[in-house]
Amino acid sequence: MPTIAIIGAGANLGAAVTRRFAKEGFSVALVSRHLGRVQDLAADLADETGAAVRGYSADVTDRDALRAALQQASADLGPVEVLQYSPLPAKEFLRPVLETTVEDLQPALDFSVHGLLTAVHQVQQHMRVLGGGTVLLVNGGSAVRPVAHFAGTSVSFAAESALGQMFHDALKDDGIHVGQLIIPGAIEEGHPNKDPEVLAEKLWTIHSEKGEFRTFAQGLDD
């Protein structure tokens, strides 16, 4: 049974992606900073979907903890075939550019770039052994259009996008697809393009069709 690991899993998009991939026979590893909360969510989703869903604790800025969580998930559920990197940025990353210091920006880069790099290196060898896999990145619109009021994510998401594009190019010959979903603005229940279930379907399509690197949930100006 294939396994998807969702880094930054919560009751919104993470739960929707769990339902969508469980429908296709996936086991699901939910990774979040809050162990009790993510284990409760995993138990609820396991009951709802009938799939093997487990929760693991890791802060993406703690590289050892992130590696350990992914390693344990693989031991419990099987090697990770799909990795979704979608942790929610901290409020501290959303400061105006003229108020942003080096000390503010470094944690944002640790969060978006170093965490992703750690996670991909942890799972890519298993994916090569499996003969393929998918890495899914989920970012806001500032990844492609910088916003002066949100300097941290504008810089770190852009860097994450660059890293993701390089992974896309470097791993495709190994059958590993790297794709990015850009969600302008907030995820909104009931929205025709940004409802969690709609976004989960888009992420499934990115995984199953393995097309271009970047997909937009909707236009940046919509």
Per-residue pLDDT tens for 109-123?
Answer: 999 999 999 999 999
Residue 55 forms part of a structural domain: yes
pLDDT (mean) for 1-13: 95
Residue 171 domain-assigned (yes or no): yes
Give the helix/strand (H/E) hosting 83.
strand 80-85
In a domain, 222, yes or no: no
pTM for this predicted structure: 0.96
DSSP per residue over 3-61, as a string? Answer: EEEEET--TTHHHHHHHHHHHTT-EEEEEES-HHHHHHHHHHHHHHH-S-EEEEE--TT
| Within a domain: 221 | no
Give the CATH number for residue 208: 3.40.50.720
Distance CA 163, CA 160 (A): 5
Per-residue confidence at 89, pLDDT binned at 50, 70, 90?
confident
Number of domains in the chain: 1
Evaluate whether residue 33 is within a structural domain.
yes
Full domain range(s) for residue 151:
3-216
45 occurs within a structural domain? yes
